[in-house]
Copies of this chain bind each other. A is one copy, B any other.
């Protein structure tokens, strides 16, 4: 069989696991993604380590839980000390580039303390989280300099005739309404309008084109490409024809009950008060936004077809490991919530498909509990490189591709909600807004610092509609699940300046020391 030489690591942003036809949504055909699943392995129980872009991605890019990388929210810098995907891939000889979004924020204070400058050489790579920024675009370009991004996509739009101060906002994120008035994609009421950008110039098309160019330019030189689509993340606005591919009749019923609106769990209640939750609580909002969300997903699927055709034409299907996943889901009104911060399956669960061309047979579907921190170890094993256990807290998924084996006893995900209105409403200090999810085969418990936990029985209540967090008959179960969290936290990898092998050698040396003699009479 062929040997894996390249990694094509595709990530969507805010793509729900159940919004792909291969994951069971018949009204949203995604034939190209389904074809990947048919060739490889589709994971039904993959979880992100934080249901928010930044922390989730930093976990995926470092192979460490959020508590172990510390970038707990979107605008918290990533410590430059932690090796990233780029370190592991480059040491295996692969050029490692990013197209699209990473959400990595440079740790300028850390760089400065070490005499490094973010703008150049090693400093730039560290500031980019270890990626070569081939065509980075984090998906939102503001007019403000304070949050400014590398405006490479804006340059592209300008070159293609979209004239403006901020062409991303004025074209990709704006529409003309029926009366010819300019409307902003930031307002969800405009979700049914077509973006002013031509489909072939949209973010999804641009990212795909950049990827094909990168792969072609690499020729026979091995590469790891993080193709990181910005969509279907908000702003919910799609270019024609994807803005009208779906209609209100295609929208799935929300997963929610009237009873949930009376649930007084303080954090859940405060998140229900968020503006996006209030909006998605209205069925007319869902019926306008979700068809566009579905259109954005189908657009990605079409570009998957284009990408795979390009890979095939360049002869790269035989030696490229393909991974397709997302950084978290989107609640879209489920449980009376918008966005993704809480740990419901629609937010903490993600699609994950892996195609390994070196395997003559793949299991097809894997129901084991796995995590996105498992991806770096997977890449390392697929490339035939020695396993790394110094910083990495995940485990390779390669064995799961080949046979049905038990997964993890439990998976974990974390949230730092200090930066949300919920924290303000609850008057939670900035260091105390922490929540941790543990999910076993049957149970999901969310442990909140300072508040009662939430508990769901995923066997009897797969839609997570009944919170058993206060139920008297589950006292012991909750204690056991909390204990799983405690055990997990106590086993995080802290001794990161030394590998296990080095530690074993040091222990052997210490026990055989000849020139330092302790305690002998």
Residues of A within 8 A of B (CB): 66-68, 70-73, 75-81, 83, 87, 107, 109-110, 113-116, 122, 126, 140, 142-144, 147, 184, 186-189, 234, 274-280, 282, 285, 338-339, 416, 418-421, 423-424, 430-432, 434, 436, 449, 482, 485-486, 489-491, 493-498, 500, 503-504, 506-507, 510-511, 515-521
Asked if A275 meets B110 with Cβ closer than 8 Å, knowing A75-B506, A507-B423, A510-B420, the reply is: no
Q: Report the Cα distance A14→B291, complex, angstroms.
A: 69
Complex Cα distance A68/B68, Å?
9
Q: Would you call B520 and A187 a contact (CB within 8 A)? A: yes
The 8 closest A-B pairs by CB, nearest first: A276-B519, A81-B81, A186-B517, A77-B497, A142-B515, A430-B503, A486-B486, A70-B494
Residue of B nearest to A487 (CB): B449
B residues less than 8 Å from A519 (CB atoms): 188, 234, 274-280, 338-339
Residue of B nearest to A514 (CB): B144
A430 touches B142 (CB 8 A): no
Centre residue among A76, A80, A188, A503 by max chain B CB count within 10 A: A503
Given A114-B122, A498-B77: A511 touches B188 (CB 8 Å cut-off): no
**Residues of chain B with a CB closer than 8 A to A184's CB:** 517
Q: Could you say which residues of chain B place their CB within 8 Å of the CB of A518?
A: 234, 275-276, 339
**C-alpha gap A285/B519 in the complex (Å):** 10
Complex CA–CA separation, A490 to B68 (angstroms): 12
A144 touching B498 in the complex, CB below 8 Å, given contacts A81-B110, A116-B114, A430-B507? no
* Minimum CB–CB distance for A146 against chain B, Å: 9
The residue that A515 contacts in the complex, of B144, B189, B234, B521, with Cβ under 8 A, is B144
| B80, A114: Cβ atoms closer than 8 Å | yes
B83 x A113 contact (CB < 8 A):
yes
Q: Which residues of B contact A77 (CB under 8 A)?
A: 497-498
In the bound complex, CA of A338 to CA of B310 (Å): 69
Query: Taking the nearest CB of chain B, how far is it from the CB of A286, in angstroms?
Result: 11
Q: Could you say which of B109, B430, B485 contacts A504, with CB atoms under 8 Å apart?
A: B430
Q: How long is the Cα–Cα vector from A497 to B72 in the complex, in angstroms? A: 10
A140 pairs with B516, CB closer than 8 A = yes
A70, A116, A416, A498: most-surrounded residue (chain B CB, <10 A): A498
Complex: how many Å from CA A418 to CA B143? 54
